[in-house]
Amino acid sequence: MKGGGVMERLLAPLYLDPNRDHRRSVFLAGSGRSGTTWVSEIVNYRREYRFVFEPFDPERVPLCRNFRRKQYLRPEDRREEYLRPARKILSGGLRSPWADRFHRGFFARRRLIKDIRANLLLGWMRANFPGMPMILLLRHPCAVAASKLALGWKDGLAGVMAQEDLVEDHLRPFEDEISKANTDFERHVFLWCIENYVPLKQLSPEDVHLVFYEEILTSPETEIPRLFAFLGRDFDDRVYEMLDRPSPLSREGVTGNRTLDGWRGIVDEARAKRAIEILSLFGLDRIYGEGSRPDPDGAYALMKNRTSELHGEIPREG
């Protein structure tokens, strides 16, 4: 999506998106600085999708003014103040200079919607917009925190914890520990835990497709076919050209960008150890530990427990 002249950018809003079925949208969620724009470019390497960029940003998209920056909604919530804008976004009705800023193309038969503020909405989306393919991208929390710190991003943890339904439903056991976080790094790691723990506990493997930044980076020959199989789309070798192409939001000189463990140059041993301690509170150390690569089975184990609960089964030990 990077590139193109002035004329192409001016023509970006001039497109046709006639199909209003939300199931024609693919929703890609992930933490900020986790590589969501990069993965979007992989999925949309042939520009077959209308690309909708960060539509749930309440500061830049007036339609979403009732949403918090990291909004949580219970799956059974049916308030139209939230359903109405989400319905318009997911069905392709939104037109926005912000959300359309990276779209290229005239006629769209399907949409790719990517957002870094919507992790806590995924359970609600699944309940209210069934049948829409959803992807959740995960990247090592130390890499995410290091990149955010390098860019001077605020953590926004206080606003997340101000949501009483979220705390009551998911975060009460961790509330005291979260309140003790006394560094920017710790707060960013806690935020990563919250915005990934909640969807993993709410959703089953049948509800959402998990993608790991590190696995695409190191094993694209396995992960890209798996991703396109989930989408039910074919692909050709041109997709692999996207692996080395800078994304529109890449930041030159930010340590950890498009590398497996570049974050280790910023995060010292003590902070890395503290990150694992925080992850262990949520059980997320089963996914990311001392190494740089994830253990996908750890993520699926968290989700399978939730699936068992939904079916009234008792998870087996071992």
For position 11, which CATH number holds?
3.40.50.300
* Angstrom distance (rounded) from CA 132 to CA 135: 10
Q: Smallest Cα–Cα separation from 31: which of 200, 183, 165, 176?
A: 200
- Please give the C-alpha separations between residue 218 and each of 95, 226, 293, 296, in angstroms, as whole numbers: 36, 14, 9, 14
Residue 309 pLDDT level (bands cut at 50, 70, 90): very low
| In a domain? residue 292 | yes
Dmax of the chain from CA atoms?
A: 60
Confidence class of residue 17 from pLDDT cuts 50, 70 and 90?
Answer: confident
Instruction: Supply the pTM of this predicted model.
Output: 0.90
Q: What does the alpha-carbon distance between residue 117 and residue 54 come to, in Å, rounded to a whole number?
A: 8
Lowest mean pLDDT among 88-102, 126-140, 188-202, 296-310: 296-310
In this structure, is residue 317 part of a structural domain? no
Q: In what order do the strands lie in the sheet with 110-115?
A: 49-53, 110-115, 25-30, 134-138, 209-212
Whether 207 maps to a domain, the answer reads yes
The pLDDT of residue 220 is above 60? yes
Q: Are 49 and 228 in contact (CB under 8 A)?
A: no
Whole-number pLDDT of residue 250:
61
Number of structural domains in the chain? 1
Confidence of residue 248 (pLDDT cuts 50, 70, 90): low
The answer to whether the CB of 121 falls within 8 A of the CB of 72 is yes
pLDDT(315) > 50: no
Which H or E element spans position 51?
A: strand 49-53
Residue 270 lies in a domain: yes
Of 300, 279, 297, the C-alpha closest to 140 is 279
- Residue 92 within any structural domain of the chain: yes
Beta 25-30 vs 134-138: how paired, if at all? Answer: parallel
pLDDT at residue 150 is higher than 80: yes
Structural domain including 215 reads 6-310
**Does any domain span residue 1?**
no
Question: Is residue 80 one of the residues assigned to a domain?
Answer: yes
The percentage of residues in the chain with a pLDDT greater than 70, rounded to a whole number, is 88
Which pLDDT tens digit goes with each residue over 95-143? 999 999 999 888 888 999 999 999 999 999 999 999 999 999 999 999 9
Q: At residue 318, does pLDDT exceed 60? A: no
In whole numbers, what is the pLDDT of the chain averaged over residues?
90
269: pLDDT strictly greater than 60: yes
The confidence band for 270, taking pLDDT boundaries of 50, 70 and 90, is very high
Helix ranges (DSSP H) in the chain: 6-11, 36-43, 80-90, 122-128, 141-151, 157-161, 164-166, 175-179, 184-202, 213-218, 220-231, 269-282, 296-310
Identify whether 141 is part of a domain: yes
